[in-house]
């Protein structure tokens, strides 16, 4: 059992103490192995995500996600740029999966999501990454872009429990998830973190080549909420169980933000926690278009989005910083906020193709980074973008 050592005067409605990760009870009951078996059956005629490609990934057949039998891991590190309730003081143990089932034209992680990078990892290897991150002191294991590799995630969790995995599991997703896959995760994932991107089908078709995205995202978030409920935390301010919704504010999309906030408040829960994110920048296929004016536009939209969220009655923040805690902790900010440690890419080459990072012992505002990159668009990056090997789907 995990018990907090730094008590805060938290709203008891959003407090979970004592706490044990959900997967441990499932493992003791002997039901986890059945979930793994069911997940692998899903790969034989793949319907692991809403693309429903119906290829046999167990025999390394691929289609939209370009991922076969084993998940491909791009990077693994203690992330200090996530929400405060996830990163805490030791970081969130992120494992970034390569490739994606969406084709977002603005993707800031396009060099991971739209290119074949990293290395294929059997479950034992992913389990070792999880245990290494736990050993470093990370507060949770944070699977990023796992929508297309849910069976492989199940295998890795099952492999990591006997050697001693005991921290919460975060499922960090675009929300383009299969409900059947999410049901396999019931009683395993502690924290769901869906990024609800679009409300309108036409917007989703135009920007992500997935016109059914809004429908699938709503179904997925309702299933996530059914499993874990609203976000709850320990007395130390760390998230322990529940749904934390992200929404990226983009130019010209403020009306969709309002619809998303209204739906979350009315159809999910008024206590749904939502982080209004403002780190959009014109990148990937958006290229240089709107680069100069994009940030000021997003700042204005984010302010408007925060007001819309407040009118909906939802709790949350307009950044991933200290505001994200104040409503849940009764206005008190944990003392470790602001003690973030920026990442530095390790100079030595990775022996297995998985990029790792180390952190300097200095303070500062964390950035959102998953791979080393400049915040500006360079000519080299534009050339690489044009040569991205994964074709877009037809509208």
Question: Does 391 fall in a domain?
Answer: no
Give per-residue pLDDT as tens, 76-86: 999 999 999 99
Question: Does 348 fall in a domain?
Answer: yes
Question: Does 139 fall in a domain?
Answer: yes
Question: Does 150 fall in a domain?
Answer: yes
Q: What percent of the chain has pLDDT over 70?
A: 67
Mean pLDDT of 170-189: 97
The per-residue pLDDT for 249 is 86
Neighbours of 116 (CB within 10 A): 14
| H-run or E-run covering 293 | helix 291-312
As a whole number of angstroms, the distance between CA 109 and CA 319 comes to 19
Mean pLDDT of 253-260: 91
First to last CA, the chain: 49
Neighbours of 363 (CB within 10 A): 11
Band of residue 114 on the pLDDT scale cut at 50, 70, 90? confident
- Which DSSP symbol is given to 394? P
Helix/strand/coil for 182: helix
Band of residue 367 on the pLDDT scale cut at 50, 70, 90? very low
Band of residue 321 on the pLDDT scale cut at 50, 70, 90? very low
Instruction: Report residue 192 CA to chain centroid gap.
Output: 8
**Span of 66-70, 137-141, 375-379 with lowest mean pLDDT:** 375-379
Band of residue 254 on the pLDDT scale cut at 50, 70, 90? confident
CB 179 within 8 A of CB 193: no
Question: Does 194 fall in a domain?
Answer: yes
Question: Does 382 fall in a domain?
Answer: yes
Q: Please report how many Cα atoms fall inside a 13 Å half-sphere around the Cα of residue 358, on the Cβ side.
A: 6
Helix 254-263 crosses helix 291-312 at what angle (to 10 degrees)? 30
Mean pLDDT of 219-241: 96
Mean pLDDT of 370-386: 29
Task: Please state the pTM of the whole predicted model.
Answer: 0.76
Computed over every residue of the chain, the mean pLDDT equals: 78
DSSP 320-370: SSTHHHHTTTTTPPPTTTT----EEE-SSPPTTS-B-EEE-S--------S
Cis peptide before 18 (omega within 30 of 0): yes
Nearest to 95 by CA among 60, 139, 146, 54: 146
Cα 4 to Cα 20, 217, 356, distances in angstroms: 12, 33, 29
As a whole number of angstroms, the distance between CA 225 and CA 227 comes to 5
As a whole number of angstroms, the distance between CA 16 and CA 265 comes to 22
Identify the CATH number of the domain in which residue 72 sits. Answer: 3.20.20.70
Nearest to 83 by CA among 214, 254, 221, 238: 238
CB 369 within 8 A of CB 87: no
The per-residue pLDDT for 388 is 35
Band of residue 230 on the pLDDT scale cut at 50, 70, 90? very high
The per-residue pLDDT for 291 is 42
The per-residue pLDDT for 14 is 93
Domain count, the chain: 1
CB 103 within 8 A of CB 284: no
Give per-residue pLDDT as tens, 19-64: 999 999 999 999 999 999 999 999 999 999 999 999 999 999 999 9
Question: Does 23 fall in a domain?
Answer: yes
Nearest to 17 by CA among 1, 41, 39: 1
Mean pLDDT of 213-230: 98
Question: Does 1 fall in a domain?
Answer: no
Domain around 243: 12-335+343-386
Residues in a beta bridge with 195: 246
């Amino acid at each position: 059992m995990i018990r907090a050592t730094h008590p805060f005067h938290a709203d008891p409605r959003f407090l979970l103490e004592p706490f044990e990760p959900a997967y441990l009870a499932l493992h003791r009951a002997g039901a986890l192995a059945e979930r793994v078996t069911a997940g692998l059956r899903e790969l034989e005629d793949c319907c692991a995500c809403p693309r429903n490609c119906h290829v046999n990934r167990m025999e390394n057949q691929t289609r939209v996600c370009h991922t076969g039998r084993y998940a491909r891991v791009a990077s693994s590190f203690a992330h200090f740029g996530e929400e405060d309730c996830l990163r805490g003081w030791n970081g969130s143990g992120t494992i970034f999966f390569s490739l994606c089932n969406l084709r977002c034209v603005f993707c800031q992680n396009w060099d991971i999501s739209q290119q074949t990078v990293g290395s294929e990892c059997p479950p034992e290897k992913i389990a070792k990454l999880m245990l290494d991150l736990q050993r470093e002191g990370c507060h949770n294991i944070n699977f990023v872009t796992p929508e297309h590799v849910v069976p492989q995630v199940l295998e890795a969790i099952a492999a990591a429990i006997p050697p001693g995995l005991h921290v919460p599991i975060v499922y960090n997703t675009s929300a383009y998830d299969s409900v059947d896959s999410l049901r396999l995760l019931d009683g395993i994932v502690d924290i769901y973190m869906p990024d609800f991107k679009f409300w309108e089908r036409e917007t989703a078709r135009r920007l992500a080549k997935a016109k059914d995205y809004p429908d699938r995202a709503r179904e997925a978030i309702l299933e996530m909420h059914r499993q874990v409920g609203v976000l709850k935390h320990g007395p130390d301010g760390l998230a322990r169980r529940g749904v934390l919704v992200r929404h990226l504010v983009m130019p010209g999309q403020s009306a969709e933000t309002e619809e998303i906030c209204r739906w979350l408040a009315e159809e999910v829960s008024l206590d749904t926690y939502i982080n209004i994110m403002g780190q959009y920048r014109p990148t990937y296929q958006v290229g240089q278009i709107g680069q100069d004016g994009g940030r000021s536009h997003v700042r204005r939209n984010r302010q408007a989005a925060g007001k819309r969220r407040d009118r909906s009655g939802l709790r949350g923040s307009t950044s991933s910083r200290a505001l994200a805690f104040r409503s849940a902790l009764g206005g008190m900010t944990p003392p470790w906020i602001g003690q973030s440690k920026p990442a530095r890419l390790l100079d030595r080459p990775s022996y297995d193709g998985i990029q790792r990072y180390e952190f300097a012992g200095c303070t500062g505002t964390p950035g959102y980074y998953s791979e080393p990159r400049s915040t500006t668009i360079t000519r080299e990056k534009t050339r690489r973008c044009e040569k991205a090997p994964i074709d877009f789907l037809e509208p």
